[in-house]
């Protein structure tokens, strides 16, 4: 790759602005169009360690919680899956990220406000950024072929949400299964970290564009 190509970013910036304008006017999805027996609400990493405490916690991510709680209330009769980030003290992942969501610290706990909606048999822990590796998750998916629509909320958008959504989509593609994956953007967020140039707005933009281009539907909310 010729890195000199990055020296003049004028055209790229204009493209980003156009993408941003398009993504700022996403529609809402009619709730009545969803079948409670065939639609599942998938939560990715809405745990204490990304919302309220620890090295990777973020007020920006925490701000989406009231919406997710309200969404669960509106979807009271819908099945729900909860994926929780959880690591041992010597997790391999800590070679790329600071220690977070370590067992026993409370960071890997599902946030208190969502616990009333979670069932043990639909709650899984993962030791990587990708939910697809969570033991038992794929078994649950395969046990419910009637689920044809997955509503996705969670954090962080550009890492765990991106990887999980894309992997799930490609899994269904490989199996020739026509499943809808729908990201509700009001319930997805990432963090700002100036030290690593991790700009949340930019990362969200890249993520939403990537997901949309790979066949994942984007809606702001349900109506």
Range of the domain at 150: 38-219
Instruction: Write out the chain's pLDDT in tens, 223 residues.
Output: 777 767 778 888 898 899 999 999 999 999 999 999 999 999 999 999 999 999 999 999 999 999 999 999 999 999 999 999 999 999 999 999 999 999 999 999 999 999 999 999 999 999 999 999 999 999 999 999 999 999 999 999 999 999 999 999 999 999 999 999 999 999 999 998 888 899 999 999 999 999 999 999 999 999 9
Asked if residue 10 belongs to a domain, the reply is no
Domain CATH code at residue 55: 3.40.50.850
Total domains, the chain: 1
12 in a domain, yes or no? Answer: no
The answer to the question of residue 124 being in a domain is yes
CB-count burial class (<10 Å; 0-12, 13-18, 19+) for 123:
middle
SS3 49: helix
Q: How far is CA 114 from the centre of its chain?
A: 15
For residue 115, is it within any domain? yes
Q: Is residue 201 part of a domain?
A: yes
Residue-level pLDDT at 205: 95
Is the pTM higher than 0.75? The answer reads yes
| Plot region of 71 (φ>0 → left; ψ -120 to 50 → alpha; else → beta) | alpha
Residue 22 lies in a domain: no
* Residue 213 covered by a domain: yes
Task: Determine the pLDDT at residue 11.
Answer: 86
Q: Is residue 156 part of a domain?
A: yes
């Amino acid at each position: 790759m010729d890195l000199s190509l990055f020296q003049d970013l004028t055209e790229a910036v204009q493209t980003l602005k156009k993408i941003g304008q398009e993504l700022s006017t996403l529609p809402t999805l009619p709730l009545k169009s969803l079948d409670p027996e065939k639609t599942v609400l998938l939560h990715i990493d809405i745990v204490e360690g990304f919302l309220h405490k620890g090295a990777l916690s973020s007020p920006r991510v925490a701000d989406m919680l009231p919406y997710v709680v309200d969404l669960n209330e509106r979807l009271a009769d819908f099945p729900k899956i909860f994926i929780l980030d959880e690591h041992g003290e010597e997790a391999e992942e800590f070679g790329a990220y600071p220690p977070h969501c370590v067992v026993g610290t409370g960071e890997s706990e599902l946030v208190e406000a969502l616990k009333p909606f979670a069932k043990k048999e639909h709650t899984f822990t993962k030791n990587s950024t990708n939910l697809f590796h969570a033991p038992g998750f794929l078994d649950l998916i395969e046990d419910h072929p009637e689920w044809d629509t997955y509503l996705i909320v969670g954090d962080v958008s550009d890492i765990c949400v991106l990887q999980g959504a894309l992997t799930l989509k490609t899994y269904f593609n490989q199996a020739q299964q026509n499943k809808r994956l729908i990201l509700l953007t009001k319930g997805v967020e990432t963090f700002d970290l100036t030290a690593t140039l991790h700009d949340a707005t930019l990362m969200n933009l890249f993520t939403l564009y990537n997901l949309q281009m790979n066949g994942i539907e984007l809606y702001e909310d349900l109506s």
